[in-house]
Amino acid sequence: MDPYRLPRFARPTRYDLRLEPDLATLSFTGDETVTLEIIEPTAEIVMNAVELKIGEATITGERGDAHRGVATIDEAAERCRIAFPSTLAPGIWRLRLAFTGILNDKLRGFYRSSYKDASGEMRLMAATQFEATDARRAFPCWDEPEFKAVFAVTLVIEPKLTAVSNTAVKDERVAGGRKTVTFADSMKMSTYLVAFIVGELEATEPIPVGPASVRVWCVPGKRRLAAFGHEIAVASLRFFEGYYGLPYPGDKLDLLAIPDFAAGAMENLGAITFRETALLVDERAASHAELERVADVVAHENAHMWFGDLVTMTWWNGIWLNEAFATFMEILAVDAWKPEWQRWTTFGVSRAAALSVDGLHSTRPIEFHVEAPRDADAMFDVLTYEKGASVLRMLEQYLGASVFRDGVREYLRRHAYANADTGDLWAALGRAARQPIPEVMDGWIFQPGYPLVSARLDGRQLVLTQQRFTYLPEPLPGSTPTPRDQAWQVPVQVRVTAGGHSSVERRLLGASESRFDLPDRAGAVLVNEGGHGFYRVRYGSELLERLLGALPDLAPIERFNLVNDAWAVTVAGFMGLGDYLDLTARFRSERDRNVWSILLASFGTLNRLIDSAHRPRLAALVRDRVASVFGELGWTLRPGEDELTRQLRGDLVRVMGVLGDDRAVQAKAAELYRSAADLDPNVLPALIGVLAHAGDGARYDEFLAKFRSATTPQEEQRYLYALAAFQQPSLLSQTLARTINGEFRTQDAPFVARALLMSVYGREAAWEFVKTNWEMMERQYPKAGLRRLAEGVTGLATPELERDVHAFFQARRPEFGGKTLEQYLEQLRIAVRLRERESTALATYLARFA
C-alpha cells in the first residue's frame, strides 16, 4: 500500500473549523468537528496532521452515542491515528478534535509574515499556504485533493485585526476582548484551497462581478498600489465567466498581498494570496514587464477558480490539468484585455523555456507518477506549466478555438464540485470535436520530450521527418535511459510562398516521413506556421537560406522560433557556432522584443562559457549586433510608441551597458540616473542594472539604501537584484552574506543566491559560500528555496566546477523530489560540453572583434 495515501474507509463531508491565532505567542489553538461518512466498520480513523498537538478526540454517532478516542501523530508519515475502544459502524459520524500549533516562519501551513509599519515598527500578520500538502499543518484533515468537503470557518482574533477566509463573513461579534468572525459555508472543495489571513489589513472599495464583490487587500499604506491588480482581476473574472459559460463559483473574491510568500500566488477559492510584487504595482512607475507580471499572475489565479477549484485533479500526477490550463487561460485573458501586448507572441519565451528543459534526457512526461509530498512539490515546474500550456495551445489551434472552448465548458459542467483526470478532459474535448483526442494528445502528455522535425527538399517535394530532440546524444551515466524510437502526432502547418502568394497546408505528421508537393517557383517554406507547435524545426541549408532571405515576411513568433531552434541545434552540436553567430548578424534590424530576448539570451549563455580573456571581444560582438537598433530607438520615448517597443528600449539599454560593456552607455546611464529626469519606466530598471554592473562601493551602498527605503515592491526588487549584479568580489560577498543574515526575506534570498551562482563575476565565491552554508540555508529558507537556489549550478560552466558540483551533491544527496537534480546536472553538462566543443571556434570567430 502507498504510505502517502490515506485509507478510503472514512470520508469527510464537512469541516466546522474554529481557529484562534495569537500573534504574540506565535501559536494557535483550534478545534474542529468533521462530519464523516464511515464506509466499513473500523476502530480507528486515519487522517493527516503534522506539527500539531492533538488534545481531546471524540466521535459521535447518528444516535448521539459518543466515544472517546486517543490520537497519536506519526510526524514522519504526516498522519494521525485516532484509536477508539470499540468498532464504529458504517454511517455518518461527527469527529471532534481540539489541537494546537505554531505560526511558523517557513511560509507554509499556518505561518507568520512580518512587515514594517509607517513608523518603521515591525508588525506581524498570519497567513496560510496549503498547496500541495500543508493544510495538515494547520488542522488535522484528509489532505488529498480527492477528499472534497464543505468548510465552515470561524476565526477568533484580536478586535483590531481583520480576518479573511474563502467565503463572505456571515457574522462578526466582539466579546470578552476577542473578535469572533464566522464565515459562510464554502462550496465542496479540496483542503489545499482553504485559507485564513489575519492582520491589520486594508482593502480597496469592492467592485461587483455578478453577485460577487472583488477587493484587493494589503498591509496598511499600500492601497495606492492596488488599482492595476484590481482592474485585471475584474476584467479577467468577467472574461472567464464568458469563456467558461459558468458564473464565478465563490460568493466574493478577495486578492491579498502578503509580505512573505513562498510562491508567486495561490488560488485559494475566494481568497487568493500573492507575493507583493505579483499584485501591488504603481502603474505609472512600472515597466511593461512588471505590469505584465501582475496581469499574468492575477489572471492565472482567477482562471483557477474554475480550473482547479471547481474541478480539481484527482491526484498530484494530474497537476498539469490545473497549472497548464491556468497558464493557457491567463494568456487568453490578458490577450483579450490588452491585445497590443501581443501576449501570444511573448508566450514564445515561455514555450522556449519548456523546450529547453524538455530537451533533456532527464525530462519527464507532463503527467508523471507522484507519491511523496516532495514529488508533488517538484511537479510545479516548467514542464507542468509552460509545456502543458504550449500543448494546450497547440491543441486549441488544431481543433479550432470554439470547439476547444465547447469541450472545456462541457468538462467543467460535468465535473463541477468533483475531481477529474486527463482522460476526462480528452473525453469532453472529443465529444465537442467529434474526433478521438487521445490518439493525438497522449503522446504529448505521457511521453517525455518532443520532436525535432527535419525539413529538406527532394526535387519538387518538401520532406518532413521527426525524431526526438535532445541536447546530448546519451543520458548522463547512472540516469534512466531514454525510450527508443519515440514519435508524436505532430500537427504541422506548412506555409509555402510562391510568386508573391502564400498558402498553408495542415497535416498530422506521424512516425513516417511526410511529403508535400511544392508549387513552381516555390520560395520560402515555413514549417511551424503561426508558431504554436511544440516542436523544433531543423531546415536543410537551402531552405534555411530562403527563410533568412524572407525574414520580414515571417511573423515575429516565427522569427523567434527560427532563432530559438537554430540556437538549440547549435547547443546540441548539429550546427556550428560560427554559423549560428553568422545567423545572428541577419537580425541586426530586428524590431521585435521577443526575438531580441532569444538572441540576447544566447549571448548571455556564451558569456558564461567564454574565458575571461576573450570576454571583451564577446562584448564587441554584442555591440555590433545591437548597435543599429539601439541607435535607432535611442534613449527617449517617441510619441505614439507602443509598449513593446518601449520595453525593447529598456532591454537594449541593459544589454549595451552590461553584456556589451559599452562605456558611453554606462556614462550616459549614470547621467540620466542622476538627473532622474522624466525617465521612461522601462528604462529606469535597465539603468539600475547597468549602474550595478559598472558600479563601485559607493554605488553599492547607495543601492542598498534604496533597497531598504523602496516604496513599491517593484522598486525593492530592482535594487535587490542589482545587489547581485556588481562585478567586484568584495561587493558580491556582502550580498552573499545578506542571503543568510536575515536582511533579505527568505522568499527572495534563494533567488538572489541563484543570481550570484549565475554571475560570471560571482559564481566561484557564491558556490563556495553555498557549500559552506548549505545547512543554514536549508534551515532558513522555505521548502522550495534550496531547489530554486540549486538551479544556479547550471551556470557553473567550467569542467572543474562541474566536477565539484557532482562531488558535493554526491555527498549531500539533496532531496529535491522528482527529477530536479538530474535535470540541473544535465544542463550543466550541456553547457560544459558546449564550451569544450566550441571554445576554439568561438575564439577564432571573435578574433575579428579584437
Q: Which is nearer to ligand BES, 329 or 672 (CB)?
A: 329
Query: Is the CB of 131 or the CB of 680 nearer to ligand BES?
Result: 131
Q: Which of 251, 296, 386, 592 binds ligand BES (CB under 6 A)?
A: 296
Q: Which of 54, 265, 622, 686 binds ligand BES (CB under 6 A)?
A: 265
Helix and strand totals (H; E) in the chain = 26, 30
Q: Which is nearer to ligand BES, 745 or 829 (CB)?
A: 745
Smallest gap from residue 586 Cβ to ligand BES (A): 34
Q: Which is nearer to ligand BES, 131 or 143 (CB)?
A: 131
How many whole angstroms from its chain centre is CA 406? Answer: 27
CA distance 69 to 88: 11
- As a whole number of angstroms, the distance between CA 79 and CA 73 comes to 6
Nearest to 8 by CA among 47, 58, 51, 35: 47
Q: Give the binding range for ligand BES (CB under 6 A) out of 293-301, 394-402, 800-808, 829-837.
A: 293-301
Nearer to ligand BES, 127 or 583 (CB): 127
By beta-carbon distance, which residue lies closest to Zn ion?
A: 326
Three-state secondary-structure class, residue 740:
coil
Residues 779 to 818 in contact with ligand BES, rule: CB under 6 A: none
User: Which three-class secondary structure state does DSSP give residue 252?
Assistant: coil
Residue 541 CB contacts under 8 Å (≥ 6 apart), including other chains: none
Nearest-angstrom CA–CA distance, 246 and 310: 11
296: partner contacted, choices ligand BES, Zn ion, none (Cβ within 5-8 A by kind): ligand BES
Residue 380, contacted partner among Zn ion, ligand BES, none, CB below 5-8 A by kind: ligand BES
Nearer to Zn ion, 323 or 358 (CB): 323
User: Using CB under 6 A, which of 264, 530, 573, 604 touches ligand BES?
Assistant: 264
- Residue 619 binds which one of Zn ion, ligand BES, none, with CB within 5 to 8 A depending on kind? none
Cell numbers at residue 420, please? 477529474
CA-CA distance, 293 to 712, in Å (whole number)? 15
Which string of x and - marks every residue 325-344 that binds ligand BES (by CB under 6 A)? -x------------------
What is residue 386's DSSP assignment?
I
Element (H, E) at 218: strand 212-218
**Shortest separation between residue 325's beta carbon and Zn ion, angstroms:** 9
The CB-side HSE value for 842 (13 A sphere, CA atoms) comes to 25
Q: Tell me how far, at minimum, the Cβ of 242 lies from ligand BES, in Å.
A: 21
Return the number of the residue (198 or 265) whose C-beta is nearest ligand BES. 265
Residue 295 or 599 with smaller CB distance to Zn ion: 295
The answer to whether residue 267 forms part of the interface with ligand BES (CB under 6 A) is: yes
Q: CB under 8 Å, gap of 24 or more: what pairs does 726-729 form?
A: 726/692, 726/693, 726/695, 726/699, 726/700, 726/761, 727/693, 727/694, 727/761, 728/696, 728/697, 728/761, 729/761, 729/762, 729/765
Non-local CB neighbours of 365 within 8 Å, separated by 6+ positions: 445, 446, 447, 448
Q: Does residue 266 belong to the site contacting ligand BES (CB under 6 A)?
A: yes
Query: What does 265 bind: Zn ion, ligand BES, none (CB cut-off 5 to 8 Å by kind)?
Result: ligand BES
Asked if 723 touches ligand BES (CB under 6 A), the answer is: no
Quick one: 431 or 783, whose CB is closer to Zn ion? 783
Do 481 and 475 touch, CB atoms closer than 8 A?
A: yes
Integer Cα distance of 721 and 825 in angstroms? 25
- The reply to whether 375 sits near ligand BES by the rule CB under 6 A is no
Query: Of the two residues 250 and 657, which places its CB atom closer to ligand BES in the complex?
Result: 250
Q: Name the segment binding ligand BES (CB under 6 A); options: 172-180, 294-302, 510-518, 712-720.
A: 294-302
Phi, psi of 545 (to 5 degrees): -60, -40
Residue nearest to ligand BES (CB): 264
In the complex, minimum distance from the CB of residue 354 to ligand BES, in angstroms, rounded to a whole number = 13
Least distance in angstroms from the C-beta of 304 to Zn ion: 6
Select from 34-42, 261-269, 445-453, 835-843 the region that touches ligand BES (CB under 6 A).
261-269
| Whether the bond into 132 is cis, omega within 30 of 0 | yes
CB of 323 vs Zn ion, minimal distance in Å: 5
Q: In this complex, which beta carbon is closest to ligand BES, that of residue 180 or of residue 322?
A: 322
Q: How far is residue 815 from each of residues 372, 433, 758, measured CA to CA in Å?
A: 11, 43, 22
- Residue 289 φ/ψ, nearest 5 degrees: -60, -40
Measured torsion, CA atoms of residues 765, 768, 772, 774, in degrees rounded to the nearest 10: 90
Q: Which of 850, 849, 801 is nearest to 825 (CA)?
A: 801
Q: Which of 18, 67, 230, 304 binds ligand BES (CB under 6 A)?
A: 304
DSSP helix/strand/coil, 765? helix
Position 300 contacts ligand BES (CB under 6 A): yes
Q: Which does 777 bind (CB under 5 to 8 A by kind): ligand BES, Zn ion, none?
A: none
By C-beta, is 296 or 680 nearer to ligand BES? Answer: 296
Burial class (CB in 10 A: 0-12, 13-18, 19+), 597: buried
Alpha carbon distance 152, 154 (integer Å)? 7
Least distance to Zn ion, CB of residue 377, Å: 14
Q: Closest approach of Cβ 373 to Zn ion, in Å?
A: 18
Give residue for cell 522568499. Answer: 747
How far apart CA 57 and CA 506 sit, in angstroms, is 64
- Tell me if 375 contacts Zn ion by CB under 5 A: no
Q: Binding string to Zn ion for residues 554 to 573, with x set by CB under 5 A, is what?
A: --------------------
Residues 380-409 that bind ligand BES (CB under 6 A): 380, 385
Applying CB under 6 A, does 297 fall inside the site for ligand BES?
Answer: yes
Stretch that binds ligand BES, among 300-308, 349-357, 587-595, 691-699 (CB under 6 A): 300-308
Using CB under 6 A, pick the residue from 32, 131, 282, 358 that binds ligand BES: 131
Is-contact 263 127, C-beta < 8 A? no
52 burial via Cβ count (<10 Å: 0-12, 13-18, 19+) = buried
| Selected catalytic residue, list 301, 323, 558, 715 | 301
For the question of residue 474 being annotated catalytic, the response is no
Left if phi > 0, otherwise alpha if psi is -120 to 50, otherwise beta: which for 676?
A: left
- The angle at the Cα of 745, spanning 741 to 748, to the nearest 5 degrees, equals 110
Residues 292-331, mask of contacts with Zn ion (x by CB under 5 A): -------------------------------x--x-----
Comparing CB distances to ligand BES, the nearer of 45 and 382 is: 382
- Contact with ligand BES (CB under 6 A) among 32, 254, 282, 323: 323
Kindly compute the dihedral angle of the four CA atoms of residues 483, 487, 493, 496, in this order, to the nearest 10 degrees.
Answer: 100
Q: Which does 135 bind (CB under 5 to 8 A by kind): Zn ion, ligand BES, none?
A: none
- The answer to whether 303 touches 236, Cβ cutoff 8 Å, is yes
C-alpha cell at 510: 506521424
By CB under 5 A, residue 838 contacts Zn ion: no
Which residue type is seen at 624?
Answer: D
Count of residues touching Zn ion (by CB under 5 A):
2
Should residue 379 be labelled a site residue for Zn ion when binding is judged by CB under 5 A?
no
Q: Which residues make up the interface to ligand BES (CB under 6 A)?
A: 131-132, 263-267, 296-297, 300-301, 304, 323, 326, 380, 385
Q: Which residues make up the interface to Zn ion (CB under 5 A)?
A: 323, 326
Enzyme catalytic residues: 301
